[in-house]
Amino acid sequence: MQAHEFLDQHRHLDPEARVAALKSALNQLVSQPEADHLAWADLAETLDQHALAFRAVQLAVRDQPHNPAALKRLGILLLERGNSERAALHLEAALKHSPEDTELIETLASLYAEHGQDQALQDLRAETEARGLTLSWPGQAESWDLPPEQATDDEAPSEALHDTERLASAAIRFWQAFGGREDMHARQWASRDGRSGYTPIPQPLTPRRIQSHLAGSETLGVYCLRSDGTVNFMALDLDITKASLEEAQVSVVRARNLKASLQATTQKLAESLNSLGFKPLIENSGYKGRHLWVLFVEPVPAEIAHLFGSLLLRRIHHQHLVPIDFHLEFFPKQGELKSKKGLGNLIKLPLGIHQKSGRRSLFLEPAGEIIKDWDRHLALARRHGSETLYQAIEALKLEALPELPEHPDGQLPQPAPAAKPKQPAPASVQRQWTEADFSLDPELKHVFGHCAVLRALKAQLETHRQLNLNEQLVLIHSLGHLEQGVLAVNYLLARAANVSPEKFLKSRLKGNPVSCVKIRSRIPHITSKVGCKCSFAEAPEQYPTPTLHLHSLASTDRPAAAADNAEQLARRYATLERRLKELESEYLTLGRELAEHLRQQPEAVLELPEGWYRLQQDEEVATLVWEPRDGQ
């Protein structure tokens, strides 16, 4: 089967089955050196399976080691993954077989310039000029200087472009919202033969250069990850596939349907983000798709944003929100740069003119109408706090919780002999763990009551919403051995914004739990503060571990083997109700203290990064009012 036949033969399958079929097909291609691996790579990218595309390109280089297209493509993919050294080797090999490929030359030149390989850059320039090719080279002042001012195109979406002062103000706001890597950005180019790409510019992205981007003088892209491993934004990139675009170009009906499908899919993605607490900026990308931007009040760790993206794409995939005519990407594509030499992932900045299509990208209303006053729209766009991101991750992880077996040893019960029941069986409800269960489950309550380290670790999680690897291992290999430990551990891991659902336990752990000595070596920042010196008089011959506290738990207090019943559910509910009242009491107490503090301020206002608390006096009643910043 050829790559172009695959979609026709598997179009009827759901996305998950289609990807499985693609994996199977690629496995068979390993032993077929005559296969068109690059075509299969195109297909994999169309289905948003970039790891499979990378594998197919590797097969192409294996079977055709002198094919410049394969070598170049592998080099660019390696560059995107941060592997600059291997990327350079493949790009140099490609250039030997395709010495007049200007895009390839510019990519290599930028790579040499970034890593300070001056001699290699000089040699490349000399060889290129000897062939009569004229290019812009890194290090040339005229290459990086702002181009001359050009007249604003008719598609300009705002009068701000005609007002120098207003444009300067908008550029600063734009820079704050979409800033990325501090020492590098990129400029888009397009050739006469229809090719397009980006040239890295080893200089900071400045508000002045953004003015040039907004005015249409040049089109810029940004590398998402900042030097400290944080990001200012997240984005969904929805594109029409190459095959569907070609079909639309020869059929008016197909084009009309595709346009309607693009708008419908965009709305579904926006609604999915809305359900998680985000209000995205929607943008027509200027070529063949949509961008949905989520902005933050303060930069957030790229690792956490990337985890959110993985969970969001999983939800979108399971809910079949994206038809086969489109492929979807999430930015940032990586949580960290694996190499200091890597650039990270690049995304085109909004509101620029796409160099290939000549069209300006524009902000859109959810229903698809163009927003002309883009600078005001950007000023009012919601900036989200990190807590919104943490809560969204927790919600998505709870959606991904594995279905647990009935028996604690991980074995499913044998099916009973088939028999027709006289009455319908009651609906089965999957057991959900709640905060109340830490007070109600005898084992968990006893262990947390006696182990100050686990207690402090749980408290730290509630405050910071993150767990490092050692903290995760301590929770998993201590609580994971308890009867209800799987549910408790998964609940806590779901609370940690930086923990992937792949870490969730599927069954109760066997073997030996983690020792207190090992716990002290893994999390000394906690054990040194609370004191880790429990004595286990009931088990003097066994190595110390938190689970030994269960020896002091009376047998009458141990959990019953029966499943949850109405009485147990009622007790859990009552516990949560009591805690809710306690929290409400604490909430009112803190509110009174904050109000008293504000009364002592000149304007009765307290400013925070996310907004302001203000004491509003209505006759004799003073009320705390929260005013979010920028519509948060």
- Is residue 345 located within the same domain as residue 477? no
Please report whether residue 346 resides in a domain: yes
Q: Are residues 519 and 584 in the same domain?
A: no
419 within some domain: no
> Which is it for the CA torsion 433, 435, 438, 439, positive or negative?
negative
Report residue 40 CA to chain centroid gap.
Answer: 26
Cα 211 to chain centroid distance, Å, stands at 29
493: containing domain: 432-559
Asked whether the beta carbons of 456 and 528 are under 8 A apart, the reply is no
**Which CATH number characterizes residue 320's domain?**
3.90.920.20
Residue with more model confidence, 504 or 80: 504
Confidence of residue 147 (pLDDT cuts 50, 70, 90): very low
C-beta of residue 366 within 8 angstroms of C-beta of residue 195: no
Residue that is written with structure tokens 């979108």 in the block: 316
Please tell me which of 47-51, 225-229, 609-613 the model is most confident about, judged by mean pLDDT: 225-229
User: Does the bond joining 148 to the residue before it have cis omega, within 30 degrees of 0?
Assistant: no
- CB-based contacts of 2: which residues, under 8 Å, 6+ apart? 36, 39
Check pLDDT > 90 for residue 632: no
Residue with more model confidence, 11 or 427: 11
Would you say residue 104 lies in a domain? Answer: no
Asked if 299 and 175 sit in the same domain, the reply is yes
Note whether 334 and 391 are same-domain residues. yes
pLDDT of residue 471: 93
Residue 405 is predicted with a pLDDT of 42
Of 394-408, 414-428, 551-565, 603-617, minimum mean pLDDT range: 414-428
- pLDDT at residue number 424: 45
- In the beta sheet, which residues pair with residue 220? 187
Reported as a pLDDT band with limits 50, 70 and 90, residue 235 is: very high
Instruction: Give 567-575 contacts, CB < 8 A, sequence gap 24+.
Output: 568/440, 571/440, 572/434, 572/436, 572/437, 572/440, 573/436, 575/436, 575/439, 575/440
Residues 6+ positions from 436 with CB-CB distance below 8 Å: 572, 573, 575, 576, 579
Whether residue 549 lies inside any domain: the answer is: yes
* Boundary residue ending a domain (512, 531, 559): 559
- The answer to whether 361 touches 283, Cβ cutoff 8 Å, is yes
Q: Which of 505, 531, 559 is the last residue of a domain?
A: 559
In degrees, rounded to 5, the angle at the alpha carbon of residue 456 between the alpha carbons of residues 451 and 458 is 100
Q: Are residues 478 and 356 in the same domain?
A: no
Helix (H, G, I), strand (E, B) or coil at 289: strand
- Please name the amino acid found at residue 349: L
Q: Is residue 100 part of a domain?
A: no
Residues with Cβ < 8 Å from 628, sequence gap 6 or more?
A: 610, 611
**Phi-psi region for residue 466, left (φ > 0), alpha (ψ -120 to 50) or beta?**
beta
Let me know: does 526 contact 546? Beta carbons within 8 Å. no
Count Cβ atoms below 10 Å from residue 23 Cβ, excluding itself: 14
Q: What is the pLDDT of residues 549-581, one digit of tens each?
A: 988 887 655 555 444 567 767 776 777 777 777
In this structure, the answer to whether residues 380 and 447 fall within a common structural domain is no
Which has the minimum average pLDDT: 365-374, 393-402, 438-447, 616-625? Answer: 616-625
Give tens-digit pLDDT for 251-265: 777 788 888 899 999
Write the DSSP assignment of 106-154 as a string of letters: HHHHHHHHHTT-HHHHHHHHHHHHHTT-----TT-HHHHSPPPP-PPPT
- Residues 303, 176 within the same domain: yes
DSSP 81-95: TT-HHHHHHHHHHHH
Q: State the Cα–Cα distance between residues 448 and 433, nearest whole angstrom.
A: 16
* Helices 442-450 + 469-479 axis angle, to 10: 130
Q: What value, to the nearest 5°, has the Cα angle with vertex 404 and ends 398 and 406? A: 145
Total domains present in the chain: 3
Handedness of CA 16, 323, 281, 82 (dihedral sign): positive
Mean pLDDT of the 171-185 span? 89
pLDDT digit string, tens, across residues 461-518: 988 888 999 999 999 999 999 999 999 999 999 888 888 888 889 889 988 899 999 9
Largest CA distance in the chain: 90
| Residue 267 confidence class, pLDDT cut points 50, 70, 90 | very high
Pairing of strands 289-301, 383-384: parallel
Please give the pLDDT value at position 143.
32
Q: Burial-class residue 498 by CB neighbours within 10 Å (0-12, 13-18, 19+).
A: buried
Confidence band for 409, pLDDT divided at 50, 70 and 90:
very low
Residues sharing a CB contact under 8 Å with residue 614, sequence separation 6 or more, in sequence order: 598, 604, 605, 606, 624, 625, 626, 627
Structural domain includes residue 375: yes
Same domain, 535 and 594: no
251 & 281 share domain = yes
Task: Determine the straight-line distance between the first and last CA of the chain, rounded to whole angstroms.
Answer: 52
The predicted pLDDT at position 102 comes to 82
Phi-psi sector, 263: left (phi>0), alpha (psi -120 to 50), beta: alpha
Lookup result for tokens 């008016």: 252
In terms of domains, do 384 and 469 share one?
A: no
Q: Which residues contact 22 (CB under 8 A, 6 or more apart)?
A: 6, 10, 43, 44, 47, 49, 52
pLDDT at 220: 92
Is the distance from CB of 212 to CB of 150 less than 8 angstroms?
no
Which residue, chain included where needed, has tokens 């009935």?
406
Q: What stretches of 364-451 show up as alpha helix (H) in DSSP?
A: 374-380, 386-399, 437-440, 442-450
User: What pLDDT, on a 0 to 100 scale, did the predictor assign at position 178?
Assistant: 93
- The two three-digit tokens of residue 76, written as one number: 């660019």
What is the three-class DSSP state of 426?
Answer: coil
Residues 293 and 167 in one domain: yes
- Same domain? 591 vs 547: no
The pLDDT of residue 83 is above 80: no
Q: Which of 532, 559, 586 is the last residue of a domain?
A: 559
**C-beta of residue 320 within 8 angstroms of C-beta of residue 293:** no
Higher-confidence residue of 18 and 70: namely: 70
Angle at 73 between CA 10 and CA 320, to 5 degrees: 30
Range from 4-8, 342-346, 456-460, 461-465 that averages highest in pLDDT: 456-460
Structure confidence at residue 422 (pLDDT): 45
